[in-house]
Amino acid sequence: MCSAEMTVSKKVLFFDVDGTLLSEITRTVPESAVRALSAARKNGHLVFINSGRTYSQLGKIKELVEVDGYLCGCGTYARVGGEVLYSHQIPHERGIQIKKDIVKYNLDGILEAAGGCYVQKKESRFAEVRRISKSLDFAIRDYGWDEDCYDFDKFCVLTDGESDEDGFFRTLEADFDVIDRGSDFFECVPQGHSKGTIMDVVLKRYGLTLQDAYVFGDSMNDLSMFRFAENAVLMGRHDKGLEPYASFVTKTVEEDGIEFAMKELGII
């Protein structure tokens, strides 16, 4: 983006994907949200995806909405145009140990990287792992967990009555933050990385301040983003834990909540 465009940019907007831009009911981005993001960019504002998904998991999202950049993997990756501003991978030997520990403590999950995702080659006993793997078939790579020729940025695990989840999570205490997403689903992110920390990379890149930033989200993996920002827009369907940090509560995705909020806040 040229310097002339940056000088007219009044605000920078950060959007979660699932449950915020993308309806978890219709599995589409409403036309109203596409229209609103386009209008914001025409007004000189910057628009970023800020997702727990890694870059490889965005899939058709990149085709549905036009944005200035992508912040992915809960703060482990930032990309503006063709430029990678930031990228962090779990150290190789640590990643190998994580895979061994997931098996040892009888969990299962998905290893997530900017370039692809990895699952065990044997069929998982967890229905949610099977469901996610099917929905991410475009991102799942052929390598299984027995191969050690790849690295990953973050990972998710599932637990059940057969899992020693306490034992496994003790192995992560020194270097990972664990986000409880509910229903025995946990998102594991290297410490020092979050949706909030990666926002700071963007603000410094463009010389903007927290007063210029607006975040839009709905679930607990948006908590760091809501704590970081002064202007936090909460979707109509949301996790209650975000409510103390919200400066504005909008309608649901399906009720055109993104466009409604952006109009009410004078962004478009």
| 118-139 per-position pLDDT tens digit | 999 999 999 999 999 999 999 9
Mean pLDDT of the chain: 94
Q: What is the pLDDT of residues 195-205, one digit of tens each?
A: 999 999 999 99
The CATH code of the domain that includes 135 is 3.30.1240.10
Say whether both 106 and 147 belong to one domain.
Answer: yes
- Count structural domains, the chain: 2
Residue 18 is part of which domain span?
3-88+193-264
pTM: 0.91
The beta-strand segments (E) located in 141-267 are: 154-158, 176-182, 185-190, 213-217, 231-234, 248-249
Say whether both 151 and 23 belong to one domain.
Answer: no
- Residue 103's pLDDT is 97
Say whether both 177 and 199 belong to one domain.
Answer: no
Q: What is the pLDDT of residues 219-248, one digit of tens each?
A: 998 999 999 999 999 999 999 999 999 999
- Tokens representing 46 are 């910057």
Q: What percent of the chain has pLDDT above 70?
A: 97
Mean pLDDT across the stretch 44-66? Answer: 94
> Residue 141's closest CA among 164, 159, 115, 171?
115
Q: Are 114 and 56 in contact (CB under 8 A)?
A: yes
Say whether both 198 and 241 belong to one domain.
Answer: yes
Say whether both 109 and 149 belong to one domain.
Answer: yes
- Residue 81's pLDDT is 82
Predicted confidence (pLDDT) at residue 8 exceeds the cutoff of 70: no
Say whether both 41 and 78 belong to one domain.
Answer: yes
Of 160, 175, 190, which residue sits at a domain end? 190
Q: Are 242 and 226 in contact (CB under 8 A)?
A: yes
- Residue 85's pLDDT is 94
Say whether both 126 and 36 belong to one domain.
Answer: no
Say whether both 181 and 108 belong to one domain.
Answer: yes
Give the integer Cα–Cα distance in Å for 227 and 224. 5
Say whether both 179 and 218 belong to one domain.
Answer: no
